[in-house]
Amino acid sequence: MVSGALLIDKPIGVTSSGVVTQLKWAMQNNDYVPKGFRIGHGGTLDPFATGVLVVLFGEGTKLADAYLHSVKAYDGLIQLGAQTDTGDPTGSIIEEKSAPLLIADQWNDLAQTFVTMDYLQVPPMYSAKKKDGVALYTLARAGKTIEREAILKKISKFEIQLETESSLRFEAHCESGTYIRVLAEDLAKRAGTLAHLKSLRRIRSSDFSLQDCASLPATLSHFKEKKPLGELPSFRELNKLASHLPQIELGEVQALRLRQGVKAEAETQSGLLLEMHCQSRYALGKKEGQAIALFEKESDFNRFRLQRVFN
């Protein structure tokens, strides 16, 4: 079976899982994937958001964690002066407050504080995070609000342009798990006002940008016409994935033992406990350009332990 990823420019109004479901049904009608093949995505986008969605299938799904935890980049519009219950345009306005007349430089000065200083972000009630096994959005829809613990988030870029007197265009680069809705609200708070996201577009996910993506309708049409997978420009085979990760060149014996199913507890004896000096949480083990295994950093220092082996 062919394995890899499809790079989709997610349209507005559909969930990320909805995109995956549509692709699964379309791909099953072709002879290059078997019934019941695995498929998933590398990072959720809200229904109102658009942009880069990495859809992994076959052995590519073993890279899901690596893509979920990768750096993402977004642009969009922030509507000033009004806060919604969801933090986005799908919600109801719950409070309004006049916005200050700041110039672009002043907004950018405020935005830079998120980059240069520690940023503790409180997850929104309308989110999939769970409390005692219950998703926060379930509690929110029941009219309940609970205390949430703030989480330290890394914002590597946050730039602002004035769109109108009451709206801002932005670009933000951040680590996984950052809520851009909350980032917009927190920026407004530092300016003494309120805000919500008017639009959101993911422009990059790890090593993939919008230029790498195809539209969902075009991709579905490709499968409907039973064209070869290799003719789809937005398809990436397994060995071309995860180029954003540190690459470990495995020796002949290491690769063979991994293929034979070396157990994690036997890694030290087999030489598969690897040391690297890098910031990445994951590393990809290859042998002559072929993906062999995914390694994950241990909690201490720069040691990487085997997580997944590719068949």
Two tokens, residue 13: 């109004």
Catalytic-role residue among 9, 31, 46, 65: 46
Query: Comparing C-alpha atoms, which of 224, 215, 228 is closest to residue 29?
Result: 224
Rounded distance, CA 43 to CA 135, Å? 17
Look up tokens 């499968």; give the residue: 223
| 159 DSSP β-pair partners | 171
Rounded distance, CA 140 to CA 39, Å? 30
Rounded distance, CA 201 to CA 45, Å? 9
Query: Comparing C-alpha atoms, which of 213, 225, 233 is closest to residue 11?
Result: 213
Q: Quote the pTM value.
A: 0.89
Per-residue pLDDT of the chain (311 residues; tens, 9 = 90+): 788 999 999 999 999 999 999 999 999 877 777 778 899 999 899 999 999 999 999 999 999 988 888 899 999 999 999 999 999 999 999 999 999 999 999 999 999 999 999 999 999 988 888 888 888 888 888 888 898 999 999 999 999 999 998 999 999 999 999 999 999 999 999 999 999 999 999 999 998 999 999 999 999 999 999 898 889 999 999 888 888 888 888 888 778 877 776 654 444 444 455 666 667 788 888 888 888 888 888 766 667 778 888 88
Rounded distance, CA 309 to CA 299, Å? 21
Q: 232 and 218 in contact (C-beta within 8 Å)?
A: no
Query: Comparing C-alpha atoms, which of 114, 141, 126 is closest to residue 89?
Result: 126
**Residue 46 annotated to the active site:** yes
Rounded distance, CA 280 to CA 297, Å? 8
Angle value at C-alpha 67, between 84 and 140, nearest 5 degrees: 25
Rounded distance, CA 203 to CA 211, Å? 9
Domains of the chain, with CATH numbers? 4-70+207-240 (3.30.70), 72-205 (3.30.2350.10), 247-309 (2.30.130)
